[in-house]
Structure 1
Amino acid sequence: MTAVDEARSRLGRVGAEFMTPIAPAEEWRQAARRVEEAGYGSLWLNEGIGGREMFTQLGVMLAATERIVLGSAIANLWARHPAAMQGAASVLADAYPGRLALGVGVSMPSLVEQSGQKWTSPLTRMREYLDGMDAAIETAPVPAKPFPRLLAALGPKMQDLARDRADGALPAAMPVEHTRLARERLGKDKLLVIVQTAILETDPVKARAIARGTRMLEMPGSPYIRSLRNLGYDDAVIAGGGSDEVVDACFNWGDEAAIAKRVQDHLDAGADHVCITVLTPDLATTAAQLERLAPLLL
């Protein structure tokens, strides 16, 4: 069984993502167990540079759970040598067969430069990084079950690289049309995991304010802005945190039924798996909202 086939058999339709960066380990364990018990197929974690190191954190979460797939969305390639990325993922996949998904991403210029590194062409950097990972395969453990390697690919060129050099793509916070185009570009044999935000708020003014509070479209060098331009959105509707049209396309808000419909829209557009992240102040609240969504999502 290929890594793509293995992942499709285990992930199911919907997973979850935790984006709260600072919390004691036991809070992470408890929240992970709640999400697993709610029935989600996966749990994904994000990473900057420093802080809660991705593979250490994944190890903590894998040890605290029993069946759920743990994924990196994303493991930041600027945070480690490519051989370390390959070795760390291989060790966890060997220890927890079939329970690891590796998402690799290039981050953003401002975050990279804050770490003291020099930002370079993301496509060239990713291509060279994958070369380094591939060169390290022979010295890394060989898991009994292969783990999928996914690229955080928003633009068409990165999606081409995900098709040619990885098991699929892991785009985030994009409209349904982006999912349809990504599937066409990847082809049917590659894995397409979509990360989407869920805002459990039915008041449109409040929901859109929460969405704009992420500042997703205001960060310098934001790849989300480039991707929206590729979809035909002009600068006038992207500026200032996005018009209502843009916010409604990129963020899922409303009651449980409304969010479930948007998730289904992405699945119908070609996503294999939709990963839901909620915007909350702590992990306990995150778990509670994911439990609330589970009956209609799963």
Structure 2
Amino acid sequence: MTTTVDEARQRLGRIGAVLMTPIAPAAEWRRAAKRVEDAGYGAIWVNEAIGGREVFTQLGVLLAATERIVLGSSIANLWARHPAAMQGAASVLADAYPGRLALGVGVSMPMMVEQSGQRWTSPLARTREYLDGMDAAVEAAPVPEVPFSRLLAALGPKMQELAGERADGVLPAAMPVEHTRRTRERLGGGKLVAAMQSAIPETDPVVARETARSSGLLSMPGSPYLRSLRELGRTEADIADGGSDEVVDACFAWGDDEAIARRVRAHLDAGADHVAVSVFEPDLASAADRYERLAPALLDG
């Protein structure tokens, strides 16, 4: 019997692309999304903070601009809307574009939540309560012909345990291949593991590492990535000041096309069903250029 997870694996394919850039006109987003689709990727993932580029509106724009590719949220921030609104918005898009929506839900981090004027609370308890609210709203929402997959941005064991109970899989980001392997072992084969891999197309190690550290992923106050790195055995010295060279190299793929493709294949070999590659480029046109160049190494490997 085919499950939602099985169907999601097939629709997403093995490789996706992340479009994560500053605010840009809708026409630029449409062009970039179409180019990524034409290059052969299985999915496009877009993010949100709280406010600004609202993720469901963004997904609707890109779904309308493309024909077959899956659009996913990485993540839809649960602090940005009521759980019934999350369920309703995802259901409307999944109904309008059958089989083309993947819903990644995440709890964000303290700094972003508090900047929005809200009070940060236990992420595990907050996520569990939020999923309860989404589930309670199912009957009031449209019923899509093809159910959308619900993934949690779960890094730690407890949040991944919750994902195993209440979601179709997980959407971890900025983690070494070792984390993907442990995630698959923890969740077993019945859940989807979609790993997000940051990629820096730079062969100079000094420049690449400086770029990685400047992203702030491993230095933001309250970063969940640092907590997960500690769980993987990294010391305080390893993660200080944006991460040691070893930590940066483990979390960020950098180098030429083949070096980036090797890291992606390593995640797949470690148990990922899907790897969403997030290239560091200054604008959408440059990101689309990069994904087109990477396609032979990533999709034909």
- Taking structure 2 as the reference length, the TM-score comes to 0.98
Would you say 1:178 and 2:179 are equivalent positions? yes
In structure 1, distance between residues paired with 2:13 and 2:150: 17
Q: How far apart are residue 217 of structure 1 and its match?
A: 1.4
Q: Say which SS state the counterpart of residue 118 (structure 1) adopts.
A: coil
**Does 1:126 pair with 2:136?**
no
Structure 2: which amino acid aligns with 1:277?
S
* Matching residue of 2:283: 282
Q: Which runs of 5+ in 2 are unaligned?
A: none
Describe how 1:42-61 pairs up with structure 2 within 5 A: 42-61=43-62
**1:95-144 deviations in Å (ceiling 9; x for gaps):** 00000000000001000000000000000000000000000001100000
* Per-residue CA distance 1:159-208 (angstroms, 9 max, x = gap): 00011100000000100000000001111010000000111111111111
Instruction: State the Cα distance separating 1:6 from its structure 2 match.
Output: 1.2
Contact between 2:77 and 2:106, CA under 8 Å: does it hold in 1? yes
Deviation at 1:2, TM superposition (A): 2.3
Counterpart CA distance in 2 for 1:289 and 1:197 is 13
Q: Distance in 2 between the 1:117 and 1:61 partners?
A: 30
Gaps of 5+ in 1: none
Residue 221 in structure 1 maps to residue 222 in structure 2: yes
Residues 186-205 of structure 1 aligned to structure 2 (within 5 Å)? 186-205=187-206
- Aligned partner of 1:159: which letter? Q
What CA deviation, in whole Å up to 9, does each residue of 1:214-263 have, x standing for no partner?
01111110000000000000000100010000000000001011111110
Which deviates more, 216-225 or 123-132? 216-225
Please tell me whether the aligned partners of residues 193 and 273 of structure 1 are also in contact (alpha carbons under 8 angstroms): yes
Hey, what does 2:154 align to over in structure 1? 153
Q: Report whether the alignment pairs 1:144 with 2:145.
A: yes
CA–CA distance in structure 2, aligned partners of residues 65 and 84 of structure 1: 24
Q: Is 2:7 aligned against 1:6?
A: yes
1:238 match = 239
> 2:91: which partner in 1?
90
Contact 2:113 2:119 in 1 (8 A): yes
Aligned to 1:212: 213
Q: C-alpha distance in 2, partners of 1:61/1:287?
A: 14
2:293 aligned residue? 292
In the other structure, the counterpart of 1:104 is 105
Q: Number of paired residues?
A: 298
**What amino acid is aligned across from residue 170 of structure 2 in structure 1?**
A
The answer to whether the Cα contact below 8 Å between 2:47 and 2:73 also exists between their aligned partners in 1 is yes
Query: In structure 2, what is the Cα distance between the partners aligned to 1:7 and 1:183?
Result: 16
Contact 2:173 2:195 in 1 (8 A): yes
The answer on whether the counterparts of 2:19 and 2:287 sit within 8 Å (CA) in structure 1 is yes
In the alignment, what sits opposite 2:71?
A: 70
Q: Tell me how far apart the structure 2 counterparts of residues 57 and 281 of structure 1 sit (CA, whole Å).
A: 19
* Residue identity matched to 1:168: G
Contact 2:22–2:283 under 8 Å retained in 1: no
Tell me, in whole angstroms, the C-alpha distance in 2 between the residues paired with 1:41 and 1:100: 12
2-structure distance, mates of 1:97, 1:139: 19
Alignment-mate amino acid for residue 274 of structure 1: V
Residues in 2 aligned to 1:179 and 1:36: alpha-carbon distance in whole angstroms: 26
Asked if structure 1 preserves the Cα contact closer than 8 Å seen for 2:44 and 2:70, the reply is yes
Give the C-alpha shift of residue 21 in structure 1: 3.1
